[in-house]
Amino acid sequence: MNYPQPGDYIDLHTHGARPVKGVFKVETIMAHEERIPEKTTDLAFTYGIHPWYLDESNHNRLLASVIKTAADPLIIAVGEAGFDKIKGPSMDLQRKTFEEQVIIAEELNKPVVIHCVRAWDELLRVHKRLHPKLPWLVHGFRGNKDLAMQLISKGMYISFWFEFILKPESSELVRSLPKEKIFIETDGAEVDIRDIYNKVSSDLGLGLDGFKKLILNNFKGFFIKR
Ligand SMILES: [Zn+2]
């Protein structure tokens, strides 16, 4: 697998990443895109079925491509996968497809990157039932401290939604969470991960280098240490 170097900025969740010197990106490939991971040094990949692009007619085909492609050593996690109550197919199909992907991830010994919109009970129920040994990461997080702590208490990590984490109002939340469980990301938006590093490192009073070390350690904790 590709691996971030000390001193790199790490963008935990991107779509359509272009190389930027000194920035290591975790690029999301959604199964319906029919892309395969490329060999480059500054990208790692996740692969999964995003609930927005799932329906009864493509389920079997998308699942087959997850089984095939997620085993590739360039793929470091399954996802993004999960639940969306605003957009996507029935909750039954979302749940079935999410559980299938969790089981694939467990068999491959890879963690799971989660998309979850207004379906926290569903997510927690699946976690309780399947009791995964690999960690999960909720990307695009913009909830409150109680929700964050509930997820973290299940061993999950949190990557903050870029727009939320750049606001001054998020500073208190950031300071109140266990810092070994957090990540930051651009989600492929026109925002510079280095600006987010500056904001959050000053929230935490760590300095830029200290914050880079923290995120690199979190990266190892989530993707590598077992
Ligand atoms: Zn995404």
CA of 18 to the centre of ligand 1 (A): 15
Q: pLDDT tens digits, residue range 44-65?
A: 999 999 999 999 999 999 999 9
Candidates 70, 135, 145, 137; CA nearest to 100 is: 70
**What's the 225 CA to ligand 1 centre distance in angstroms?**
24
10 Å Cβ neighbour count for 38?
10
What is the 150 CA–ligand 1 centroid distance (Å)?
22
132 C-alpha vs ligand 1 centroid, how far in Å? 22
Average pLDDT, the chain: 96
What pTM, to 2 d.p., does this model score? 0.96
pLDDT of residue 164: 96
> What value does the mean pLDDT take over residues 150-162?
98
Cβ neighbours of residue 191 closer than 8 Å, sequence gap 6 or more: 162, 163, 166
- Distance between the two ends of the chain, CA-based, in angstroms? 16
Contacts of 110 (CB under 8 A, 6+ apart): 70, 75, 76, 77, 78, 134
Is 90 exceeded by the pLDDT of residue 40? Answer: no
- Ligand 1 centroid distance, CA of 145 (Å): 22
CA 28 / ligand 1 centre spacing (Å): 7
Cα dist from 34 to 48, 61, 77, 87, 88, whole Å: 11, 11, 17, 21, 19
- Side-chain-side CA neighbours of 59 within 13 Å: the count stands at 16
Spatial separation of the C-alpha atoms in residues 22 and 53, rounded to whole Å? 32
Ligand 1 centre from 6 Cα, in Å? 25
State mean pLDDT over 186-211.
Answer: 96
Looking at residue 39, what is its pLDDT? 83
Residue pair 28/113 in contact by the 8 Å Cβ criterion: yes
Q: What is the pLDDT of residues 99-154, one digit of tens each?
A: 999 999 999 999 999 999 999 999 999 999 999 999 999 999 999 999 999 999 99
Report pLDDT for 158: 98
Q: What is the pLDDT of residue 18?
A: 85
Of the candidate ranges 16-20, 58-62, 72-76, 185-189, the one whose mean pLDDT is the lowest: 16-20
